[in-house]
């Protein structure tokens, strides 16, 4: 569509801090690549957004199908049933939960409730791109702390907290690097941060941690009332398209977040699907095992190609190819979508989502061909 000429420069009407935002670049959708390359959608392999290769939990699918009949109704704006299920599972009171349109929504609610221009938010270099977006959209100041070995430098992050800092964002494991800190390291960090600074521990990939890595942050909510846990149904639960995530926090923090929340931010289908997925142990276990086997397969393949990679605790891995943009284009031509991470300041790297054995093998073949070209 050609744009209508206007005597007003609308971008000039927006505050400078909004104009300064660089838009989030999502993984390329299958339909878009199919159009661009003249390929069949069915032949395209998308490994760009850390989605579950097994699809969604069958229990969640049944719940969604049953709930379709009621779509003329507004959702339960308080998400009572899902909060009750979360409360039972986590052993935390329902008043501690905030539901989000994806956990992305939750991250923005924290920024909106606790940041203003003149305040600052802290996060690490190479951390999830939504943190600076959430901070900047409020007009607050971003404090990006240089990473260490691609991971969070927790001591430096604690040092970076200033008098005007209200929020610290921390992803464990982190995306796009997959880097991980032990439970002890995270708890030591919590001890270093002043009580009046909110620490958001983003656990989007929590369920993919190995038994040796596994720690439980939920009891910390008692010891560190400034802690906010953020979790999602988009990754291992396989519900990315429905958009549902949640925060668990001190009830007063949850209260402030709920005040700035859109009244029906979590939709009816998402609510019932999440509730069903939460208890689908069989699907979760199968997803975990698929990722574990797939990770080993991909690492072996990357090693065989002589490519450097960053040890990952998630369902994806970042690897170094040199010319990230060039290799990406040659993968796209073969119908394989991975994630370039130049936007994160890693132009020599690509990130791939771990998938099933057959899809991993196809990716590795395509990568070998893309490196030769």
Ligand X SMILES: *Cc1c(COP(=O)(O)O)cnc(C)c1O
Residue 280 interacting with ligand X (CB under 6 A): no
CB under 6 A: which stretch of 27-35, 227-235, 304-312, 331-339 binds ligand X? 227-235
Residue 240 interacting with ligand X (CB under 6 A): yes
Q: From the CB of 327, what's the least distance to ligand X, in Å?
A: 22
Is 131 or 364 the residue whose CB approaches ligand X more closely? 131
Residue 238 interacting with ligand X (CB under 6 A): no
The correct pick among 114, 123, 126, 128 for binding ligand X (CB under 6 A) is: 128
Positions 91 through 110 that interact with ligand X (CB under 6 A) = 102-104
The correct pick among 175, 206, 268, 355 for binding ligand X (CB under 6 A) is: 175
Site string for ligand X, 197-226 (x = CB under 6 A): -----x-x----------------------
Q: What is the 3-state secondary structure (H, E, C) of the chain?
A: CCCCCCCCCHHHHCCHHHHCCCCCCCCCCHHHHHHHHCCCHHHCEECCCCCCCCCCCHHHHHHHHHHHHHCCCCCCCCCHHHHHHHHHHHCCCHHHEEEECCHHHHHHHHHHHHCCCCCEEEEECCCCCHHHHHHHCCCCEEEEECCECCECCHHHHHHHCCCCEEEEEEECCCCCCCCCCCHHHHHHHHHHCCCCCEEEEECCCHHHCCCCCCCCCCCHHHHCCCEEEEEECCCCCCCHHHCCEEEEECHHHHHHHHHHCCCCCCCHHHHHHHHHHHCCHHHHHHHHHHHHHHHHHHHHHHHHCCCCECCCCCCEEEEECCCHHHHHHHHHHCCEECEECHHHCCCCEEEEECCCHHHHHHHHHHHHHHHHC
Residue 79 interacting with ligand X (CB under 6 A): no
Residue 291 interacting with ligand X (CB under 6 A): no
Is 189 or 330 the residue whose CB approaches ligand X more closely? 189
Residue 343 interacting with ligand X (CB under 6 A): no
Residue 131 interacting with ligand X (CB under 6 A): no
The correct pick among 165, 206, 234, 287 for binding ligand X (CB under 6 A) is: 234
Residue 342 interacting with ligand X (CB under 6 A): no
Residue at shortest CB range from ligand X: 102
Which residues of the shown chain bind ligand X in the complex (CB under 6 A)? 50, 102-104, 128, 171, 175, 202, 204, 232, 234-235, 240, 245
């Amino acid at each position: 569509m050609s744009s209508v000429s206007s005597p007003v420069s609308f971008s000039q009407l927006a505050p400078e801090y909004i104009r300064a935002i660089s838009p989030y670049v999502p993984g390329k959708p299958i339909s878009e690549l199919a159009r661009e390359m003249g390929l069949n959608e069915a032949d395209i392999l998308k490994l760009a957004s850390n989605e579950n290769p097994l699809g969604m939990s069958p229990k969640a699918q049944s719940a969604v199908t049953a709930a379709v009949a009621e779509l003329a109704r507004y959702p339960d704006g308080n998400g009572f049933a899902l909060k009750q299920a979360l409360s039972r599972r986590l052993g935390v009171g329902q008043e501690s939960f905030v539901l989000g349109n994806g956990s992305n929504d939750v991250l923005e609610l924290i920024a909106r409730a606790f940041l203003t221009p003149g305040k600052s938010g802290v996060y690490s270099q190479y951390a999830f791109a939504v943190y600076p977006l959430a901070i900047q959209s409020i007009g607050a100041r971003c404090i990006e702390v240089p990473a260490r070995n691609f991971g969070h430098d927790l001591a430096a992050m604690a040092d970076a907290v200033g008098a005007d800092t209200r929020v610290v964002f921390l992803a464990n494991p982190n995306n796009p690097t997959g880097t991980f800190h032990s439970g002890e390291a995270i708890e030591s960090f919590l001890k270093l941060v002043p009580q009046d600074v909110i620490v958001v521990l983003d656990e989007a990939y929590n369920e993919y941690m190995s038994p040796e890595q596994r720690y439980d942050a939920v009891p910390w909510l008692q010891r560190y009332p400034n802690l906010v846990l953020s979790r999602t149904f988009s990754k291992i639960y396989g519900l990315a398209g429905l958009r549902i995530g949640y925060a668990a926090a001190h009830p007063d923090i949850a209260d402030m977040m709920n005040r700035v929340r859109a009244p029906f931010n979590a939709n009816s289908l998402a609510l019932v699907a999440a509730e069903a997925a939460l208890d689908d142990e069989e699907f979760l276990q199968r997803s975990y095992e698929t990722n574990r086997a797939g990770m080993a397969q991909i690492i072996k393949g990357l090693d065989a190609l002589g490519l450097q990679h960053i040890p990952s605790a998630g369902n994806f891995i970042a690897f170094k190819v040199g010319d990230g943009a060039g290799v990406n284009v040659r993968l796209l031509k073969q119908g394989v979508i991975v994630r370039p991470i130049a936007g994160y300041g890693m132009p020599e790297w690509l990130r791939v989502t771990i998938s099933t054995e057959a899809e991993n093998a196809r990716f590795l073949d395509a990568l070998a061909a893309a490196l030769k070209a």
